[in-house]
Chain A
Amino acid sequence: MRRPPTRVVLAVVLGIALLVAGVVSHYASNSPDGLTSVAVDLGFSSSEQAAAGGPLAGYEVPGLGHPRWSGGLAGVLGCLVVLAVSTLLFRLRRPVSRAGAEDE
């Protein structure tokens, strides 16, 4: 069996991530998650302090009216930020190899 090149595998995984964050996320369940519903059931959810907010708080882009576009764009922007930050971080952490001689 022929194996697809690494960049094809990476592109497919990234494509799926963008599709999931940009499109599929619209169809995600709106029910409270496990911790939130336990907190409500057992009566300690009231101690939650309102989040300080953020540029994309609540996975919405402010000013974009339609929830599908707003949520999808927020998801894609989040993906791009995570990709940029982690790629930069991992590039910095890579051992410097010079002409066959491993550093470390």
Chain B
Amino acid sequence: MHVPDGFLDAPTSLATAGVAAAAVALALRGARRELDDRVAPLAGIIATFVFAGQMINFPVAGGTSGHLLGGAMTTVLVGPFTGLLCMTVVIVVQSLLFADGGITALGTNVVLMGVVAVVTAHLVFLAAQVLLPKRVSMVAPAAALAALASVATSAATFVLLYSVGGVVPIPFDTLLTAMLGVHLLIGAGEAVITFVVVAGIMGVRPDLVRGARGVLVSRELETRMVAA
């Protein structure tokens, strides 16, 4: 999903850079509320985990591969604002140190893999928590749904950007079908990885998972009622 330099024209890249900068500024403010004693130590480690996870390309259909994006994983584990900062650090390091993703495309990549993925994941995760039973066992499935949706909206947003500022004229429908087709498969991989990681941490220390706080509080209250 890393967009290289040259795919999008200069005005579009400039616009996405502006959106990315505004979103990161917002996240820097918002993260202050998220970074408590539980989230703060985990956040840097999760950013590192996402960087490592992004190195593992897994094969999907027909000679194509995909890798974890991590927007949903970070959103569920450390919160959306801190999650966006995690994603931004990873994307900037990849671009500057590893030449993975363009420099002029930096804003585009932060928008696609950061902002769009995190906002989608946050909304879908919240919706899933409302619709699914309020149980600890439902946190990882909700995260997996958020992961699948986040990859799909990232891919669809690229198509939108390309229809506005793509250098080569490609019919919108053709590009949308191609991008969604392959990225739904990649999204399935994203869902599996996100499920395993979130379920793993939920299994040993659910209190470290920021997205699980709603269910944990209600469970503790129930326990007290039974004890009384």
Given contact pairs A28-B55, A33-B57, A54 touches B168 in the complex (Cβ within 8 A):
no
**Interface 9-residue window, one of B46-54, B128-136, B212-220:** B46-54
Residue pair A79, B51 in contact (C-beta under 8 Å): yes
Interface residues on A, range: 35 or more
Interface residues on B, range: 35 or more
Residue pair A29, B170 in contact (C-beta under 8 Å): no
Chain B residues, CB < 8 A from A104: 32
Given contact pairs A51-B99, A82-B93, A31 touches B57 in the complex (Cβ within 8 A):
yes
Q: Does B167 touch A at the CB level, under 8 Å?
A: yes
User: Bound state CA distance, A81 and B93, in angstroms?
Assistant: 8
Given contact pairs A34-B60, A47-B6, A83-B45, A9 touches B208 in the complex (Cβ within 8 A):
yes
User: Bound state CA distance, A67 and B53, in angstroms?
Assistant: 19
Q: A95 — nearest CB in chain B belongs to which residue?
A: B32
User: Bound state CA distance, A6 and B102, in angstroms?
Assistant: 37
Within 8 A of A (CB), among B168-227: 168, 170, 174-175, 178-179, 182-183, 186, 201, 204-205, 208
User: Bound state CA distance, A57 and B100, in angstroms?
Assistant: 7
User: Bound state CA distance, A83 and B205, in angstroms?
Assistant: 21
Residue pair B98, A28 in contact (C-beta under 8 Å): no
Within 8 A of A (CB), among B26-77: 28, 31-33, 35, 38, 40-49, 51-53, 55-60, 62-67
Residue pair B45, A10 in contact (C-beta under 8 Å): yes
Given contact pairs A17-B48, A33-B57, A41-B178, A6 touches B208 in the complex (Cβ within 8 A):
yes
In the assembled complex, the CB of B46 is this many whole angstroms from the nearest CB of chain A, namely 7
The 8 Å CB contact of B48, one of A35, A39, A52, A86, is A86
Residue pair A17, B64 in contact (C-beta under 8 Å): no
Chain A residues, CB < 8 A from B174: 42
Chain A residues, CB < 8 A from B86: 86
Q: Does A98 touch B at the CB level, under 8 Å?
A: no
Q: Does A14 touch B at the CB level, under 8 Å?
A: yes
Name A's B-contacting residues (CB within 8 A): 3-4, 6-7, 9-10, 13-14, 16-18, 20-21, 24-25, 28-35, 37-39, 41-44, 46-49, 51-59, 74-75, 78-79, 81-83, 85-87, 89-91, 93-95, 104
- 28 A-B pairs in the complex with CB atoms less than 8 angstroms apart: A4-B205, A24-B56, A25-B52, A33-B65, A34-B60, A34-B182, A34-B183, A35-B3, A35-B155, A37-B62, A42-B178, A43-B170, A47-B6, A48-B6, A51-B4, A54-B99, A55-B97, A57-B99, A78-B93, A82-B48, A82-B90, A83-B44, A86-B48, A89-B85, A90-B35, A90-B82, A93-B85, A95-B33
Besides A35-B2, A35-B179, 10 more A-B contacts (Cβ < 8 Å) are: A9-B208, A28-B57, A34-B60, A35-B3, A38-B175, A56-B97, A78-B98, A83-B44, A89-B89, A90-B44
